[in-house]
Amino acid sequence: MLSARAWLGRVLLLPSAGAGLATSRRGSSSRDKDRSATVSSSVTMPAGGKGSRPSSTPQRVPNRLIHEKSPYLLQHAYNPVDWYPWGQEAFNKARKENKPIFLSVGYSTCHWCHMMEEESFQNEEIGRLLSEDFVSVKVDREERPDVDKVYMTFVQATSSGGGWPMNVWLTPNLQPFVGGTYFPPEDGLTQVGFRTVLLRIREQWKQNKNALLENSQRVTTALLARSEISVGNRQLPPSAATMNSRCFQQLDEGYDEEYGGFAEAPKFPTPVILSFLFSYWLSHRLTQDGSRAQQMALHTLKMMANGGIRDHVGQGFHRYSTDRQWHVPHFEKTLYDQAQLAVAYSQAFQISGDEFYSDVAKDILQYVTRSLSHRSGGFYSAEDADSPPERGMRPREGAYYMWTVKEVQQLLPEPVLGATEPLTSGQLFMKHYGLTEAGNISPSQDPKGELQGQNVLTVRYSLELTTARFGLDVEAVRTLLKMGLEKLFQARKHRPKPHLDSKMLAAWNGLMVSGYAVTGAVLGQDRLINYATNGAKFLKRHMFDVASGRLMRTCYTGSAGTVEHSNPPCWGFLEDYAFVVRGLLDLYEASQESAWLEWALRLQDTQDRLFWDSQGGGYFYSEAELGAGLPLRLKDDQDGAEPSANSVSAHNLLRLHGFTGHKDWMDKCVCLLTAFSERMHRVPVALPEMVRTLSAQQQTLKQIVICGDRQAKDTKALVQCVHSIYIPNKVLILADGDPSSFLSRQLPFLSTLRRLEDQATAYVCENQACSMPITDPCELRKLLHP
């Protein structure tokens, strides 16, 4: 396949000398599934040409996006651009008028999407070009991830990377021929301007359209071949031991010994990697590599929790760190990060017993409960990185979260008694969290000099070192720091808040149900499990169509806090089903309410019907009908910021087989893993969640059965014993003795298990054989965690 530079140089007749280089500004490639913009371009054009600057008077006549529900599309509803939403109306216009389609994809909390909207889409001249010479289409990537994935595949294949905003030019038949990410409005020394790109593509469409169409077809054909994932001639998936070892070695080679994590910068949390390392530790815990895996994961989680990527004042985690030290983050907060990190920190607590990790997990959920929760039980998508430093000012990234020394001194002036030197609460606080008069942000991270004097809170010293430095009592210092954080939190409430993306996505709500359910189960907190239950009820009430059995992808918050839907509804994609099914399975194990397990089974049946590839194995990302017209129908094949829906589905199928004994789900699991064999062989580190499931499939799944009454104390004691231990390869089943119950009908052997002396009794079953009955939680712990 031609590179973008070579292809565009040939098709658009551009000189190869002086090519614009792809550069990144606090962003990351979409290969990491990062939701931040990357500044890169697959279009290489000569410098030159000037255009008008954006109009100083905002255009207040709405375009047709004003009728949409998406917060992102509504942000563009007053652009002087004749925007269309993705749909047949736009495609018909392009075919009728023989115009190329300009497709622009982003999301509402994307920093560089905001930049391009302000610089280019509010520009009157650029707006006229887009409206007169192109059919311009705006897409919220979180509403239509299928559209995003197809054209991101093209951008990544023909340029040096990907990210958002993503801008792609298509033929009227939806085949891509030019693509890039962020473009500045005008030409610069190293980058071609957006206006120049538009003029050159307009010219080439008129003069060399046939060449454009031919090359577009050629690239599309190559992408089809390259993206195919199929069982082929393989009969079985690869060896789990081999894939496990290779995946661990690749992670070990990229591990940052000092600060944790697996890259220099930018550095991402990537919970799927931490989950793999915990699982690898469990199966290799008596080996040096097993100990190493545990240390890598725990150290990474501790460094993240101490770093600026964590919001120490308001809880929760930001999207990623722009530096190696986890210090200065990209300040966006996403629901899917909170959901997965809550689980990761809960697992770290199970493994280590260190309450540091459980406290972080509880903090994350405190943030979600307060800031990302709808009153009906659902969860919002994200909070923006940008906000005005003061009302009426232009938004700036991180303004809501940073502090000056002066602000902290004014908020915390009280003297600290008993210190070895004169000390105020503010001085103690600033020492512990690394604040300085000049600010603690490196000039290299602040090229415009906007952040001088600003500080990101990051734990510079342990509680013990801070205590020793001033000769104080540990508990006294802990209390002072806690009070200081609370005062900053109250003061921060008076600042202009970042934009809230109040769109609710089934997939991310499913992840959040897991976050609450797993953390609540591990910590024995029914309150958290209740939040998970309310989240599942919200999904069933507002995002599930009873008549068709299908999930809806999105719903929205109305003006009065009501729940609204688009018309027609946006139906669910593979990840919506996979993540919701996972959430329901986790909720069943946490609550022992079999209704959630029953719904999970029904949704899995629907998923199989809508997405399963009966010829090649594995699941397509979108329904065939929904993706009609797109040049590719893809299978999600990378565990990144979110796990691949195929990886999660493989594990769901394994668990469902354990809950029901249905052989067809195990067969599908094996078939899926076989279909992804080549991908796992080639780059196992790209699919750590799938490698983890491969290992579980080739081991023996434990069916842990508790015979007892759900509300009885002795039953709860056995259940809590199971939840306190890290056992990823198991299903937990409550057998209440009712032969007509849902699980008794699925697993007839449950009727043979009896309570011992009328006490709640546990059985651990493997390979169709069960242990002796156990009534003592301590004995059960010994059996499960020898």
Q: Both tokens of residue 277?
A: 């390392």
Distance from C-alpha of 285 to C-alpha of 681, rounded to nearest angstrom: 24
Per the omega criterion (within 30 degrees of 0), is the bond before 568 cis? yes
Indicate if 700-785 has the same CATH topology as 64-227.
yes
Distance from C-alpha of 342 to C-alpha of 16, rounded to nearest angstrom: 49
Paired residues of 764 in beta bridges: 704
- What's the farthest any 2 CA atoms get from each other in the chain? 88
pLDDT at 226: 85
Q: Which residues contact 679 (CB under 8 A, 6 or more apart)?
A: 229, 637, 686, 687
pLDDT at 8: 39
Q: Both tokens of residue 655?
A: 């668990």
**Extents of the domains making up the chain:** 64-227, 239-372, 401-494, 700-785
- The tally of CA atoms less than 13 A away on the side-chain side of residue 287 is 9
Q: Which residues contact 752 (CB under 8 A, 6 or more apart)?
A: none
Q: What is the DSSP string of 425-494?
A: HHHHHHHHHT--TT-SS-GGG-TTSTTTT-B-----S-HHHHHHHHT--HHHHHHHHHHHHHHHHHHHTT
Q: Which fold has domain 700-785?
A: Glutaredoxin (3.40.30)
Beta-strand pair 386-387/396-397: antiparallel
- The tally of CA atoms less than 13 A away on the side-chain side of residue 553 is 23
The answer for 13, left when phi > 0, alpha when psi is -120 to 50, beta otherwise, is left
Exposed/middle/buried for residue 711 (C-beta within 10 Å: 0-12, 13-18, 19+)? exposed
What is the side-by-side strand order in the sheet with 761-766? 730-735, 702-707, 761-766, 769-770
Compute, in degrees rounded to 10, the torsion defined by CA atoms 430, 263, 726, 288.
Answer: -110
Q: Tell me if 185 sits within 8 A of 126, measured CB to CB.
A: yes
CATH of 239-372, picked from 3.90.1150.10, 1.50.10.20, 2.40.50.110, 3.30.1390.10, is 1.50.10.20
Q: What angle do CA 630, 635, 640 make, to 5 degrees?
A: 115
Select from 507, 635, 514 the least CA-distant residue to 579. Answer: 507
Q: Tell me if 590 sits within 8 A of 525, measured CB to CB.
A: no
Distance from C-alpha of 424 to C-alpha of 484, rounded to nearest angstrom: 11
Paired residues of 544 in beta bridges: 551
Q: Tell me if 581 sits within 8 A of 604, measured CB to CB.
A: yes
Exposed/middle/buried for residue 247 (C-beta within 10 Å: 0-12, 13-18, 19+)? buried
Distance from C-alpha of 469 to C-alpha of 219, rounded to nearest angstrom: 63
| Backbone phi and psi for residue 443, each to the nearest 5 degrees, phi listed first | -55, -30
- The tally of CA atoms less than 13 A away on the side-chain side of residue 470 is 26
The neighbour count for residue 569, using CB atoms within 10 Å, is 15
Q: Both tokens of residue 222?
A: 């190559």
Q: What pTM did the predictor assign?
A: 0.92
Q: What is residue 706's DSSP assignment?
A: E
Helices (H), 59-123: 71-75, 88-97, 111-116
Q: Which fold has domain 64-227?
A: Glutaredoxin (3.40.30)
3-state secondary structure of 618: coil
The answer for 439, left when phi > 0, alpha when psi is -120 to 50, beta otherwise, is left
Parts of the chain with a pLDDT under 70: 1-59, 786
Paired residues of 318 in beta bridges: none
Q: What is the DSSP string of 535-549?
A: HHHHHHHHSEETTTT
Select from 522, 530, 532 the least CA-distant residue to 582. Answer: 532
Q: Tell me if 635 sits within 8 A of 613, measured CB to CB.
A: yes
Could you report how far apart the first and last alpha carbons of the chain are, in Å?
54
Q: Both tokens of residue 51?
A: 């255009």
3-state secondary structure of 93: helix
